Structure 1
Amino acid sequence: MSSNQIEKSVTLAAPVSRVWRALTDAQEFGQWFGVALEGPFIEAETVRGKFTGPLDEAVIEQYQRQAGLEPAPVNLPQESSTFCTVQTIEPERYFSFRWIPFGIDAQADPHNEPTTLVEFRLEPVADGTQLTITESGFDNVPAHRRARAFLMNTGGWEGQIRNVKQYVERD
């Protein structure tokens, strides 16, 4: 793993069809990810949403410290904003989108910021489904934001992989 890519993998005790639905049904995705999305995931379309989890400046400051960073200002959107732009949907195998990494960073420019590619790969295994989440393209993030975006999203994906596991295995 380099500083250009984050990769997390987990075996989920759920069939591929269940995991696929949790990843690609916008309502279900929002439940485990902590975001209220305003529309479905459709290739080449942008999806707007608002984070619903316990995000406030104190929580983000704590996450930054846990990542070994000095806390820096953030902009927590009060209203719906662009969440991602869907890239590819290959049913029950692959789903990807682009977004601004650690987009709440006060130094992020939502109109000109390079995006990273988030990929979800599913593979059936004896115990259920192997899910691999990869986020790449951090080398394109402006140098003044790169390390913070990488470290914050690394921690974020560690939490999200636990969330999706709990979500699909509860059924």
Structure 2
Amino acid sequence: MDTDRIEKRIVLKATRERVWRAISDSARFGRWFGVEIDGPFVAGQEARGRIVPTEVDPDVARLQEPYLGFPWRVVVERIEPMELFSFRWHPYAVDPTRDYSSEPMTLVTFQLAEAEGGTLLTITESGFERIPIDRRAKAMESNDAGWAHQSKLIEKYLALEEQR
């Protein structure tokens, strides 16, 4: 088992263009991910928002409810159209009494590739070995489950968007 990295892969039954818009457009990203973002994603800049329930799955939305309104911040690392979108964040930063600002961030990467029947989306989060030991295991466990949910949420989002 890798102690520094999480990787999830899913073949989405959608064109590369549609998947790209779902991950790189902050409003679309927010609908499936479960976050209301204050502006567009811009490489080298912080994107801020707040957690809101996902619009595409009521069961996952219920899991997000306890975090409603909680601040969401990422630093956008790279935007390579139709190929790669990445950001850095503080994983599992959910304790409102803790200041995470001095901790290292993990790197989240969304990478697109052609696949039979659609587009392969690979989501990778790395850098857990730099997270303070007292919260490293919980952050990795929580985010591993979270990325499994998010993989299904983007799939549902794209299916719902296709019907519109």
Q: Give the TM interval when normalised to the shorter protein.
A: 0.7 to 0.9
Unaligned runs of 5+ in 2: 54-61
Identity %: 41
- Aligned-residue CA RMSD (Å): 1.6
1:36-55 alignment runs, 5 A limit? 36-53=36-53, 54=62, 55=64
Q: CA deviation at 1:2?
A: 0.3
Task: Tell me the secondary structure at the aligned position of residue 48 of structure 1.
Answer: strand
1:14 aligns with 2:18: no
How far apart, CA to CA, are the structure 2 residues paired with 1:136 and 1:36? Answer: 24
Q: How many residues align?
A: 152
**TM-score calculated relative to the size of structure 2:** 0.87
Query: Hey, what's the Cα distance between the residues in 2 that align with 1:166 and 1:88?
Result: 25
1:109 shift after superposition = 2.4
TM-score normalised according to structure 1 size:
0.83
- 1:1-150 correspondence to structure 2 within 5 Å: 1-53=1-53, 54=62, 55-57=64-66, 76=67, 78=69, 81-105=71-95, 108-150=98-140
Quick one: distance in 2 between partners of 1:153 and 1:128? 26
> What secondary structure is seen at the aligned counterpart in 1 of 2:50?
strand
Q: Relative to structure 1, is the Cα distance of residues 6 and 105 closer, same or farther in structure 2, using a 3 angstrom cutoff?
A: farther
Is this contact kept in 1: 2:128–2:140, CA < 8 A?
yes
* Change over 3 Å in CA distance of 1:144–1:106 after alignment to 2: farther
Letter in 1 for 2:143: N
Query: Are the aligned partners of 2:51 and 2:72 in contact in 1 as well (CA < 8 Å)?
Result: no
Residue 105 of structure 1: how far off its partner (Å): 3.5
Give the drift of 1:82: 4.5
